[in-house]
Amino acid sequence: MSSDMGLDSKVRKGMFRIAKIVESFDTVLKMLFELGIAPNSKKTFSHYFTHGETAEMVGRSRTTVNKLIEELRIEQDQHTPKSGYVGDKKPRTLGLRLDQVNLIRDHLGIRPIRKEGDKVPRIAIQNFKGGTAKSTTTVHFAQYLALQGYRVLVLDGDPQATATAAFGYIPDQEFDQNNTMWSVIMGEKLAREVVVKTYFPGIDLIPSCLAAYETEFSLVFAIADADAKNDVERKLSYYWEIDSLLKDVEEDYDVILLDSPPALSIMSLNILCAATGIFVPVPPAQYDFMSTGQYFRMVDRMVGGIASEKEWDFIKILPTKVDRGKKRQVDFVGILRQTFGANITNAVMLATSNIPNAAASFNTAYEMKGRERDKDVIEMLDTVFKEMEQEVLKSMPSRAEELRKKGVI
């Protein structure tokens, strides 16, 4: 008995340490929140586009843009120089916000709104190994698409909720399982009730948080119960919960991105069943290469067992974190190309300090301002995402025809 008491004492001591760590974390997070460093619901996308940038975005001359601003009565935000400013202190226009650029696109009829008859692309960004830039790719790709004028929905399927935090929320303080897909799967809420707006114009989010692990547990128990009762149809239906959820909201969007947890799980398999296309981020390293092979083996075995007729419009390897200054990494990209052939993107996401530096202040490369905004990094990301965008558009009949006319496909 004394032995049991000693064990209980050790457990209590261990849990006390855990509780103190959690308390310390919450205190620091609150402090960061108050300093405006942490993500929060008041975060805004405050980038302004010059008339020249706007002209490039809408494919018109600056003169035409100026006329449209006047014609559409677009009121541009202004800035008044501080009193210590030497020179003219009159208010200066800052440029156009993204929503105002989209207003011009709508007027010109050039916004890439999904046309009738086109299915909604559901793109999984997935790898069962962590550290591959999966969430980084998801968030930046969503912002790239929004900057082009698309209406984007991001489903955060990872309880670590990196994407949720990147879009301006503190997951475990602002959400619990009742605000995530769990409540929809449990039949307690409609899908539309868990969709939230983000600070970034054109991007909505189905958030996640640590408590969303309950979704995984609930599905595991439900599948086990159906298996015990030899109810194959009910068992298989639990792998299509996200598919059903998305059907209720997808008409409001042009593209849906699915951020997957870095593990083989019921949630990961749900995302595979719901997806119409897959990008697999892979850094050029031996362990990541081996893990990717295991990923495809598991997909073959698991999805083959639950949805043997499942098809995807594309499956593409996306090389990430590529340091061109390291010959071994460059050579390994060659190995990836030799291995995966046509199933790998031409563009690669280069390793850069700009992205993690931006993340340190809960921003992305697209949100950095002034000297911190690296045009070379933006250009690199745009090149990667342009290719990904075109891969997505190939699955849409109306857009595929446009690509054929341009000689892209």
Where would I find the H helices in 248-284? Answer: 266-274
Q: Over the range 310-320, which residues count as b (16 or more CB within 10 Å of their CB) and which as e?
A: eebbbbbbbbb
- Which one, of 116, 120, 119, lies nearest residue 258 by Cα? 120
Secondary structure letter of residue 314 according to DSSP: E
What is the rounded CA–CA span in Å between residue 111 and residue 146? 11
| Tally of helices (H runs) and strands (E runs) in the chain | 17, 9
**DSSP-derived secondary structure letter, 362:** T
How far apart, in whole angstroms, are the C-alpha atoms of residue 135 and residue 291? 17
**pLDDT for position 135:** 95
What are phi and psi for residue 277, nearest 5 degrees?
Answer: -155, 155
Query: What's the pTM?
Result: 0.89
For residue 304, name the pLDDT band (cuts at 50, 70, 90).
confident
* Structural contact between residues 292 and 328, judged by C-beta atoms closer than 8 angstroms: no
- Same topology, domains 43-78+90-111 and 122-405? Answer is no
Q: What is the DSSP letter of 213?
A: H
DSSP string across 127-179: -SSSSSSHHHHHHHHHHHHHHHT--EEEEE--TT-HHHHHTT--HHHH--GGG
Return the structure tokens found at 47: 């980038």
Tell me the residue type at 263. A
Q: Which residues have CB under 8 Å from 88's CB, separation 6+?
A: 81
Name which of 244, 253, 243, 240 is nearest 120 in CA terms. 253
Strand duo 314-319 + 277-282: pairing: parallel
Give φ, ψ of 30 to 5 degrees: -65, -40
At residue 405, the pLDDT reads 78
pLDDT digit string (tens) for 5-35? 555 655 556 677 777 787 787 777 666 666 6
Instruction: Report the alpha-carbon distance of residue 80 to residue 93 in Å, rounded.
Output: 9
Domain ranges of the chain: 43-78+90-111, 122-405
Tell me what pLDDT residue 32 has. 66
Residue 233 has pLDDT above 90, yes or no: yes
For the segment(s) 122-405, the CATH number from 3.30.830.10, 3.20.140.10, 1.20.210.10, 3.40.50.300 is 3.40.50.300
Is 173 exposed, middle or buried (CB count within 10 Å of its CB: 0-12, 13-18, 19+)?
middle
Q: Please give the Cα distance from 360 to 47 (Å, whole number).
A: 19
Residue 84 pLDDT more than 90? no
* Partners of residue 257 on adjacent β-strands: 123, 154
Tell me what percent of the residues of the chain surpass a pLDDT of 70: 91
CA dist., res. 84 & res. 27, Å (int): 38
Chain-wide mean pLDDT for the chain? Answer: 89
* Side chain identity, residue 175: F
| CATH of 43-78+90-111 given 1.10.3470, 1.10.1660, 1.10.260, 1.10.890 | 1.10.1660
Looking at residue 41, its pLDDT comes to 46
Q: Would the CA dihedral through 73, 74, 77, 80 be positive or negative?
A: negative
**Between 396 and 102, residue with greater pLDDT:** 102
Question: Does 389 have pLDDT greater than 80?
Answer: yes
The answer to whether residue 292 scores a pLDDT higher than 80 is yes
* Higher per-residue pLDDT: 11 or 68: 68
Read off the pLDDT band of 283 (50, 70, 90). Answer: very high
Neighbours of 349 (CB within 10 A): 23
Name which of 74-83, 292-301, 325-334 the model is least confident about: 74-83
pLDDT-based confidence at residue 88 (cuts at 50, 70, 90): low
* pLDDT tens track for 339-385: 999 999 999 999 999 999 998 878 899 999 888 999 999 999 999 99
**376-392 CB burial, b ≥16 within 10 A, e <16:** ebeebbbebbebbbebb
Read off the pLDDT of residues 155-185 as tens digits, 9 standing for 90 and up: 999 999 999 999 988 888 889 889 999 999 9
